[in-house]
Structure 1
Amino acid sequence: SILGKKFSQKVLENPQIKIFYISPLVDMELKYIFCRRSGFQNAIKYASEFLKDFIIYSESELRDEASHLKCNFPISIADCYSLAIGKIRNIPVYMKKEEEIDKVLEELLSVVKIIYIDNLV
Protein backbone atom coordinates (compact mmCIF):
# COMPACT_ATOMS: atom_id res chain seq x y z
CA SER A 1 0.00 0.00 0.00
CA ILE A 2 1.03 3.62 -0.47
CA LEU A 3 0.71 4.22 3.27
CA GLY A 4 2.89 1.19 4.03
CA LYS A 5 5.58 2.37 1.63
CA LYS A 6 5.47 5.85 3.12
CA PHE A 7 5.80 4.42 6.65
CA SER A 8 8.70 2.21 5.59
CA GLN A 9 10.58 5.06 3.90
CA LYS A 10 9.98 7.73 6.54
CA VAL A 11 10.12 5.64 9.71
CA LEU A 12 11.50 2.12 9.33
CA GLU A 13 14.38 3.22 7.09
CA ASN A 14 15.14 6.34 9.15
CA PRO A 15 18.67 5.90 10.56
CA GLN A 16 17.80 8.19 13.49
CA ILE A 17 15.22 5.68 14.75
CA LYS A 18 17.05 2.61 15.97
CA ILE A 19 14.48 0.71 18.05
CA PHE A 20 10.88 -0.09 17.16
CA TYR A 21 8.35 -1.24 19.74
CA ILE A 22 4.92 -2.74 19.20
CA SER A 23 2.33 -4.09 21.57
CA PRO A 24 1.44 -7.79 21.64
CA LEU A 25 -1.99 -6.79 20.34
CA VAL A 26 -0.43 -5.43 17.14
CA ASP A 27 1.46 -8.72 16.77
CA MET A 28 -1.83 -10.59 17.13
CA GLU A 29 -3.67 -8.30 14.71
CA LEU A 30 -0.99 -8.79 12.05
CA LYS A 31 -1.22 -12.55 12.45
CA TYR A 32 -4.99 -12.66 12.08
CA ILE A 33 -4.87 -10.36 9.02
CA PHE A 34 -2.20 -12.55 7.39
CA CYS A 35 -4.14 -15.67 8.47
CA ARG A 36 -7.29 -14.55 6.68
CA ARG A 37 -5.29 -13.94 3.51
CA SER A 38 -2.88 -16.88 3.53
CA GLY A 39 -3.74 -19.38 6.27
CA PHE A 40 -2.41 -19.69 9.78
CA GLN A 41 1.00 -21.28 9.11
CA ASN A 42 1.86 -18.63 6.54
CA ALA A 43 0.56 -15.93 8.89
CA ILE A 44 2.99 -16.96 11.61
CA LYS A 45 5.85 -17.01 9.10
CA TYR A 46 4.94 -13.65 7.51
CA ALA A 47 4.39 -11.91 10.84
CA SER A 48 7.67 -13.22 12.25
CA GLU A 49 9.55 -12.03 9.21
CA PHE A 50 7.80 -8.65 9.14
CA LEU A 51 8.39 -8.06 12.86
CA LYS A 52 11.98 -9.32 13.04
CA ASP A 53 13.29 -5.79 13.73
CA PHE A 54 10.58 -4.92 16.28
CA ILE A 55 10.55 -5.40 20.03
CA ILE A 56 7.22 -6.74 21.25
CA TYR A 57 6.63 -4.92 24.51
CA SER A 58 5.51 -7.01 27.47
CA GLU A 59 1.73 -6.90 27.90
CA SER A 60 2.03 -6.93 31.69
CA GLU A 61 4.20 -3.79 31.58
CA LEU A 62 1.61 -2.00 29.44
CA ARG A 63 -1.59 -3.15 31.13
CA ASP A 64 -1.98 -0.44 33.79
CA GLU A 65 -1.15 2.44 31.45
CA ALA A 66 -3.37 1.01 28.70
CA SER A 67 -6.19 0.69 31.25
CA HIS A 68 -5.67 4.29 32.32
CA LEU A 69 -5.87 5.46 28.70
CA LYS A 70 -8.99 3.34 28.06
CA CYS A 71 -10.61 4.83 31.16
CA ASN A 72 -10.03 8.37 29.88
CA PHE A 73 -10.48 8.01 26.11
CA PRO A 74 -13.14 6.24 23.98
CA ILE A 75 -10.59 4.42 21.79
CA SER A 76 -9.84 0.78 21.06
CA ILE A 77 -7.96 -1.39 23.52
CA ALA A 78 -5.34 -2.10 20.83
CA ASP A 79 -4.77 1.65 20.38
CA CYS A 80 -4.52 2.06 24.16
CA TYR A 81 -1.76 -0.55 24.28
CA SER A 82 0.16 1.12 21.43
CA LEU A 83 -0.21 4.54 23.03
CA ALA A 84 0.88 3.14 26.39
CA ILE A 85 4.26 2.27 24.87
CA GLY A 86 4.68 5.87 23.71
CA LYS A 87 3.71 7.24 27.08
CA ILE A 88 5.91 4.86 29.10
CA ARG A 89 8.96 5.26 26.84
CA ASN A 90 8.31 8.94 26.06
CA ILE A 91 8.51 8.27 22.32
CA PRO A 92 6.16 9.13 19.44
CA VAL A 93 3.57 6.62 18.31
CA TYR A 94 3.04 6.32 14.56
CA MET A 95 -0.57 5.56 13.68
CA LYS A 96 -2.84 5.50 10.68
CA LYS A 97 -5.36 8.33 10.93
CA GLU A 98 -8.60 6.98 12.39
CA GLU A 99 -11.80 8.81 13.24
CA GLU A 100 -11.95 7.59 16.85
CA ILE A 101 -8.40 8.83 17.55
CA ASP A 102 -8.96 12.05 15.62
CA LYS A 103 -12.00 12.90 17.76
CA VAL A 104 -9.86 12.98 20.92
CA LEU A 105 -6.50 13.83 19.36
CA GLU A 106 -6.05 17.17 21.10
CA GLU A 107 -6.58 15.61 24.52
CA LEU A 108 -4.43 12.58 23.66
CA LEU A 109 -1.56 14.82 22.54
CA SER A 110 -1.37 16.18 26.09
CA VAL A 111 -0.53 12.63 27.20
CA VAL A 112 1.47 11.08 24.34
CA LYS A 113 3.00 12.20 21.05
CA ILE A 114 1.09 10.82 18.06
CA ILE A 115 2.26 11.10 14.46
CA TYR A 116 -0.20 10.16 11.74
CA ILE A 117 1.47 8.11 9.03
CA ASP A 118 -0.96 9.75 6.60
CA ASN A 119 0.70 13.12 7.30
CA LEU A 120 4.29 12.02 6.64
CA VAL A 121 5.65 13.91 3.64
Structure 2
Amino acid sequence: MEYSGNGKILKIYIGETDKWKHEPLYHALIKKFKEKGMAGATVIQGIEGFGLNSRIKTAHILQLSEDLPLVIEVVDQAEKIEKILPEIKEMVTEGLVTIEDVRVISYTANNKEKQDKN
Protein backbone atom coordinates (compact mmCIF):
# COMPACT_ATOMS: atom_id res chain seq x y z
CA MET A 1 0.00 0.00 0.00
CA GLU A 2 1.28 3.44 -0.89
CA TYR A 3 -0.38 6.60 0.33
CA SER A 4 0.16 10.32 0.65
CA GLY A 5 -2.30 13.09 1.46
CA ASN A 6 -4.36 14.28 4.39
CA GLY A 7 -5.11 12.04 7.33
CA LYS A 8 -5.54 11.94 11.09
CA ILE A 9 -3.33 10.83 13.93
CA LEU A 10 -5.02 9.15 16.87
CA LYS A 11 -2.98 9.32 20.09
CA ILE A 12 -3.89 7.35 23.18
CA TYR A 13 -2.10 8.10 26.46
CA ILE A 14 -2.35 5.30 29.04
CA GLY A 15 -0.31 3.53 31.72
CA GLU A 16 1.51 0.30 31.00
CA THR A 17 -0.45 -1.55 33.71
CA ASP A 18 -3.86 -0.63 32.25
CA LYS A 19 -5.86 -3.72 31.26
CA TRP A 20 -8.63 -4.72 28.87
CA LYS A 21 -10.23 -8.09 29.61
CA HIS A 22 -7.20 -9.40 31.53
CA GLU A 23 -4.56 -8.41 28.94
CA PRO A 24 -2.44 -5.28 28.66
CA LEU A 25 -4.56 -2.50 27.16
CA TYR A 26 -1.81 -1.42 24.77
CA HIS A 27 -1.65 -4.95 23.32
CA ALA A 28 -5.45 -5.20 23.05
CA LEU A 29 -5.50 -1.86 21.21
CA ILE A 30 -2.79 -2.95 18.77
CA LYS A 31 -4.72 -6.16 18.07
CA LYS A 32 -7.91 -4.13 17.54
CA PHE A 33 -6.17 -1.79 15.08
CA LYS A 34 -4.77 -4.76 13.15
CA GLU A 35 -8.18 -6.48 13.12
CA LYS A 36 -9.84 -3.33 11.76
CA GLY A 37 -7.27 -2.95 8.97
CA MET A 38 -5.69 0.27 10.19
CA ALA A 39 -2.59 1.41 8.29
CA GLY A 40 -0.33 0.84 11.31
CA ALA A 41 0.11 1.55 15.01
CA THR A 42 3.03 2.18 17.33
CA VAL A 43 3.36 1.94 21.11
CA ILE A 44 5.87 4.38 22.61
CA GLN A 45 7.02 3.98 26.22
CA GLY A 46 7.73 7.15 28.16
CA ILE A 47 10.49 7.40 30.72
CA GLU A 48 8.63 9.85 32.93
CA GLY A 49 5.28 11.60 33.10
CA PHE A 50 2.13 12.35 35.06
CA GLY A 51 -1.55 12.48 34.30
CA LEU A 52 -4.82 13.54 35.85
CA ASN A 53 -3.92 12.06 39.26
CA SER A 54 -0.67 14.13 39.31
CA ARG A 55 1.49 11.19 40.43
CA ILE A 56 4.84 11.23 38.64
CA LYS A 57 5.75 7.91 37.02
CA THR A 58 9.45 7.53 36.30
CA ALA A 59 12.02 5.09 34.97
CA HIS A 60 14.84 6.42 37.19
CA ILE A 61 17.29 3.70 38.15
CA LEU A 62 16.78 4.37 41.86
CA GLN A 63 13.00 4.54 41.57
CA LEU A 64 11.33 1.58 39.93
CA SER A 65 7.96 2.34 38.40
CA GLU A 66 5.48 -0.35 37.52
CA ASP A 67 3.23 1.95 35.50
CA LEU A 68 5.26 3.97 33.01
CA PRO A 69 3.36 6.16 30.55
CA LEU A 70 2.59 4.78 27.09
CA VAL A 71 1.45 6.54 23.93
CA ILE A 72 -0.19 4.56 21.14
CA GLU A 73 -0.19 6.37 17.79
CA VAL A 74 -2.21 5.46 14.72
CA VAL A 75 -2.05 7.43 11.47
CA ASP A 76 -4.75 6.69 8.90
CA GLN A 77 -7.51 8.22 6.82
CA ALA A 78 -9.99 10.34 8.78
CA GLU A 79 -12.92 8.02 8.05
CA LYS A 80 -11.13 4.97 9.45
CA ILE A 81 -10.07 6.83 12.61
CA GLU A 82 -13.60 8.16 13.20
CA LYS A 83 -15.13 4.73 12.61
CA ILE A 84 -13.03 3.02 15.30
CA LEU A 85 -13.52 5.73 17.97
CA PRO A 86 -16.56 4.17 19.71
CA GLU A 87 -14.60 0.96 20.35
CA ILE A 88 -11.58 2.94 21.59
CA LYS A 89 -13.78 4.95 23.98
CA GLU A 90 -15.13 1.68 25.39
CA MET A 91 -11.65 0.21 25.88
CA VAL A 92 -9.85 3.28 27.27
CA THR A 93 -11.54 3.93 30.61
CA GLU A 94 -8.59 5.92 32.03
CA GLY A 95 -6.23 8.07 30.04
CA LEU A 96 -6.34 10.63 27.25
CA VAL A 97 -7.41 10.19 23.63
CA THR A 98 -6.66 12.88 21.03
CA ILE A 99 -7.02 13.27 17.27
CA GLU A 100 -5.07 15.71 15.12
CA ASP A 101 -4.86 16.47 11.42
CA VAL A 102 -1.71 15.24 9.67
CA ARG A 103 -0.28 15.52 6.19
CA VAL A 104 1.17 12.19 5.12
CA ILE A 105 4.19 12.77 2.90
CA SER A 106 4.97 9.13 2.21
CA TYR A 107 3.70 5.77 3.41
CA THR A 108 5.28 2.85 1.58
CA ALA A 109 6.57 -0.62 2.37
CA ASN A 110 10.02 -1.72 1.28
CA ASN A 111 10.37 -4.64 -1.13
CA LYS A 112 11.27 -7.15 1.63
CA GLU A 113 8.06 -6.35 3.54
CA LYS A 114 6.04 -6.74 0.34
CA GLN A 115 7.66 -10.12 -0.32
CA ASP A 116 7.04 -11.26 3.28
CA LYS A 117 3.31 -10.59 2.86
CA ASN A 118 3.09 -12.88 -0.19
TM class, shorter-length = under 0.3
Q: TM-score, normalised by structure 1?
A: 0.26
Larger Rg: 2
Larger relative helix fraction: 1
Q: TM-score, normalised by structure 2?
A: 0.26
Larger relative contact order (Cα-Cα within 8 Å, sequence gap ≥ 6): 2
